[in-house]
Amino acid sequence: MTATITPGTPALSARRRWTVLAICASALFLVGLDTTIVTVGLAEIGRGLGTSADRLAWVIDAYTVTFAGLLITAGAVADRFGRRRVFRTGLVVFAVSSLACAAAPSLAFLVAARVGQGVGASMMTPVALAIVVSAMPDPRERAQAIGVWGAIFGLSMAAGPVTGGALLALFDWRAVFWINVPLVVVALLLVGAVVPESRGARVRRLDVRGQLLLVALLWLAVTVLIEGPRIGWTAPGTVAGAVAVAGLTAVLVRVETGRAEPLLEPRLFLVPRFAGAVLGAIAVFVAFSMTLLMTTLLLQRVTGWSAVAAGAATLPMAVGATVCAPVSGHLVGRVGPRVPLLLAGGCVTLGGALLAAAGMNLPLLLTALALVGIGVGFANAPITDTAVSGLPPERAGVAAGTASTARQLGTALGVALAAGLVAEVTADGFASAALPGWLVVAGCGAVLLLVAGVSPGTGRAQPNPVSR
């Protein structure tokens, strides 16, 4: 297919639209899977590469931080040069980097290859969502599609530990990376056959300075969180890093405020609805990633479960996220985002509280995981829909990039916080060390409840005037 979707292009058939969604969502599944698939394999990676546990958080965050830092620019580049073209390029970069990860002889090489995976992933997720948004102009159908999108993303994130555990049982840790290659080949064939080309009607200039500042800020912030517990929170390096984070944040805001077409639009963050969507995305994925990493470490380190058993224990979270995401999309289309956000916040808050009280009580632990998964499932659709609907259609790539950046930033922060709390803790001290983490999860649920308060109560969200 060589069709290009523009504002004047006739709508695709319903069958074609939903086929496009299925193909783009399959690539999203791959990206989400690689965010969490290594979670249960960190111990095996550490043993295989002779690396201490406190360094292994970089295996996850080298991917998620790079992913988060480049998402908005990737969306803007796709709006300019063609979304399908950028999407296919991202698939190729992702596959090549996956092969490099599988062949890594050292931790440094693996982390560098994971950065490459993050570059490829950043060219896939917001671009794929922008393709779907362009193909589905009807707001109600788009909300339903975003619900399915959220289900696939939630399933991919939660299925990672299960898939990783199975691959570890059958092969070794390198399998969690090379398995991506045949999946990418299939995706490339399907994209070339079915997905039409689309572009933004109005192309913006790329903000190189803003992009460099954003990447530097994210890397520095996560470095402080990962290395702070190892070298000490009051160590000169940690304090200097924290001061630099604050300084870079101020510089980024000033630079972006002075640009006519910034990477990040500060004016949008003055609108409670849009700012709430971004804050909610960060909160829900901090909760999700902390729960996932700390639970799998708990089961392997304290109970001695195998990687595949620990991964299987996270299935309630996967089921909750998968089942509730399309329900949430349906609710957003009918009554607006407030109700699903209230359900999400309540479930995550209760799940965090149960995790703090569960200890080694397996039924309580599984119930808590299910509640967190349900919360993630209900949160994704209203957050994504608000971010996308708040900007005009020609800005779909940038809007999707903003929402995806917030999610990946939440994942990176959650992994860094969890690793700082429990990476080097012995089995005897795990419960007390993990307690602050479970309270953070509950606090993230409370944030979602606050975000629900600034969300539209009924009907469809209207575009923000500031975005026009």
| 242 in Cβ contact with 234 (< 8 Å) | no
| 277 in Cβ contact with 383 (< 8 Å) | yes
Q: For position 463, what pLDDT does the model report?
A: 45
Q: Which two tokens stand for residue 20?
A: 């496009």
Q: What is the pTM of this model?
A: 0.79
Tell which residue, 343, 335, 400, has the closest CA to residue 375. 343
Residue 343 and residue 320: Cα distance in Å, rounded? 12
Residue 4 DSSP code: E
| 219 in Cβ contact with 58 (< 8 Å) | no
Which residue's entry shows tokens 């359900």?
A: 343
- Bridge partners of 4? 197
Write out pLDDT tens, residues 369-392.
999 999 998 988 788 776 666 555
* pLDDT of 130 over the 80 cut: no
Write out pLDDT tens, residues 73-117.
877 787 777 888 888 899 999 999 999 999 999 999 999 999 999
Angle between helices 430-453 and 272-301 (to 10 degrees): 160
Question: How far does Cα 340 stand from its chain's mean position?
Answer: 19
Residue 148 and residue 21: Cα distance in Å, rounded? 9
Q: For position 154, what pLDDT does the model report?
A: 66
Q: For position 5, what pLDDT does the model report?
A: 47
Write out pLDDT tens, residues 341-371.
999 999 999 999 999 988 778 899 999 999 9
Q: Which two tokens stand for residue 421?
A: 């709390």
Question: How far does Cα 122 stand from its chain's mean position?
Answer: 10
Output the average pLDDT for the chain.
Answer: 81
* pLDDT of 394 over the 60 cut: no
Residue 73 and residue 78: Cα distance in Å, rounded? 8
Write out pLDDT tens, residues 213-272.
888 898 898 888 888 877 888 888 889 999 999 999 899 888 888 777 777 777 777 777
Q: Which two tokens stand for residue 284?
A: 């829900």
